Amino acid sequence: MLKEAIFATVSDFSQYSQTNDILSRSLYIIVSASSIMIALMWIPIAIGFFSTDENRKYTSYSRAKSAALGTGIYILAVTGVIYGAFNFIITGN
């Protein structure tokens, strides 16, 4: 009877470990896709910095400010800092 209980516990741990591995891999995929999207969105702004047209450079500087702010907010949202702040404000914990 003790052997069966130990085997059941080990079997449950193995299932938990497999689920944890699947969630970890999916997290890596989501973070990788997010970083690729952010990098692709920054490419037009970076190209504008090297333009010879002054108006395009000025537009790139203003777009870079907005993109940096948006990237910062996105990173805070993904890491859960925004959720934690709102949770603290609402619940006090």
The pLDDT score that the predictor gives to residue 13 is: 57
pLDDT surpasses 80 at 58: yes
Give the global pTM.
0.57
Q: What angle do CA 35, 80, 71 make, to 5 degrees?
A: 40
Distance (Å, whole) CA 70 – CA 41: 11
